[in-house]
């Protein structure tokens, strides 16, 4: 089924102990869409500036990602620059030039309004809500990402948007901050009262945990000998997760578990190279092989 994503499309400059890139296509919606496109059709809503290059539009086209909803505004595209140390969980932001993203006001093209699966990447909760209002009918599944900035500055707006959210995808520290609970199970129960029926906690190199009202599932991060660039890992995870669910059009417990695995699979590919390099080239066969590898990594008999 059709999957809608709204979020940032950006140019990134990235430095890690394994190398650097000066200006490469990035942004949450970009990583999400590329990862999800391996499972289902993706409709993207975002904004870029006049400097947005035709070769970058072609990256979406080649993966059959619909960018009718990618608005071109006067000015420059969102630019982000960051540096990672040996501990790739820690990053230093060097530059954040919001540019055209500062006045982003998402508008759903007519052809997107029937989207059944919706991912609201990390943007102002009021904008996330406005996207939901523009859908024709209540989507089958809405997932949302957010961060400390919105939890602190716009708590009321975030709570309003969470009422319409099925799955919240955030990291450990955001989970603790949003719920004022250190224990993650108690934190999840707190969050269920705000609307979501499931919480996906992203834990970087430690993997991810799904806490559903009715069950809990853990998946490790894929152990890699070389992590080149962690940028976009979380958004690629979300793309694999939502892409899988939209692709099968169901979200039973077994589906959600598989979605967690395919999320981890896509995140693991992303970090193997810089930027979108690996995500663009990965094949269906490689995705399936890595999912089986996750099974070997976690399965046991009693």
Residues that bind a copy of itself (CB under 8 A): 86-87, 182-186, 203, 206-207, 209, 211, 215-220, 223-227, 254, 257-258, 260-261, 288, 291-292, 295-302
Contact 78, 55 (CB under 8 A): no
Cβ 42 to a copy of itself shortest distance, Å: 23
Q: And the tokens for 4? A: 């809608």
Cβ 164 to a copy of itself shortest distance, Å: 27
Cβ 93 to a copy of itself shortest distance, Å: 21
In the numeric block, the tokens 């650097």 are attached to: 20
Cβ 285 to a copy of itself shortest distance, Å: 14
User: Radius of gyration of the chain from Cα atoms?
Assistant: 18
Q: Parallel, antiparallel, or unpaired: how do β-strands 19-26 and 117-120 relate?
A: unpaired
Cα–Cα dist 56/11, whole Å: 10
**To the nearest 5 percent, what fractions of the chain are helix, strand and coil?**
40, 25, 35
CA neighbor of 280 nearest in space, from 38, 52, 41, 46: 38
- Cβ-based nearer residue to a copy of itself, 110 or 226: 226
Helix (H, G, I), strand (E, B) or coil at 47: strand
- Cβ-based nearer residue to a copy of itself, 90 or 105: 90
- Cβ-based nearer residue to a copy of itself, 93 or 301: 301
Cβ 215 to a copy of itself shortest distance, Å: 7
Main-chain dihedrals φ then ψ at residue 202, nearest 5 degrees: -90, 130
* Cα→Cα distances 129→164, 172, 233, Å: 8, 24, 25
Number of residues written out for the chain: 302
- Cβ-based nearer residue to a copy of itself, 75 or 204: 204
Cβ 219 to a copy of itself shortest distance, Å: 8
- Cβ-based nearer residue to a copy of itself, 94 or 289: 289
- Cβ-based nearer residue to a copy of itself, 64 or 254: 254
Cβ 159 to a copy of itself shortest distance, Å: 24
- Cβ-based nearer residue to a copy of itself, 195 or 220: 220
Main-chain dihedrals φ then ψ at residue 208, nearest 5 degrees: -145, 155
CA neighbor of 290 nearest in space, from 227, 240, 216, 230: 240
Collect all residues with Cβ–Cβ distance below 8 Å to 225 and sequence separation of at least 6: none
């Amino acid at each position: 089924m059709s999957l809608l994503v709204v979020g940032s499309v950006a140019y990134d400059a990235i430095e890690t102990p394994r190398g650097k890139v000066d200006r490469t296509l990035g942004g949450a919606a970009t990583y999400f869409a590329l990862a999800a496109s391996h499972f289902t059709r993706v409709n993207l809503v975002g904004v870029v500036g006049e400097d947005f290059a035709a070769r970058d539009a072609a990256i979406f086209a080649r993966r059959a990602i619909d960018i009718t909803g990618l608005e071109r505004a006067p000015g420059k595209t969102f630019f982000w620059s960051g540096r990672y140390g040996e501990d790739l969980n820690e990053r230093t932001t060097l530059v954040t030039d919001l540019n055209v993203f500062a006045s982003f006001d998402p508008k759903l093209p007519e052809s997107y309004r029937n989207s059944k699966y919706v991912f609201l990447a990390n943007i102002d909760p009021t904008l996330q809500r406005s996207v939901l209002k523009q859908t024709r009918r209540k989507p089958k599944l809405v997932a949302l990402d957010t961060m400390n900035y919105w939890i602190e500055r716009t708590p009321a707006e975030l709570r309003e948007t969470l009422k319409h959210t099925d799955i919240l995808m955030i990291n450990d520290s955001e989970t603790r901050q949003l719920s004022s609970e250190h224990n993650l199970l108690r934190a999840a129960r707190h969050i269920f009262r705000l609307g979501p029926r499931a919480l996906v906690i992203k834990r970087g190199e430690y993997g991810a945990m799904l806490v559903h009202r009715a069950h809990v599932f853990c998946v490790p991060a894929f152990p890699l000998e070389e992590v080149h660039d962690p940028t976009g890992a979380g958004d690629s995870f979300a793309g694999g997760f939502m892409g899988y669910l939209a692709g099968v059009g169901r979200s039973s417990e077994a589906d959600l578990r598989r979605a967690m695995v395919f999320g981890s699979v896509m995140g693991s590919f992303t970090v193997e190279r810089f930027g979108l390099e690996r995500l663009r080239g990965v094949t269906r066969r490689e995705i399936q092989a890595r999912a089986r590898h996750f099974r070997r990594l976690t399965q046991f008999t009693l």
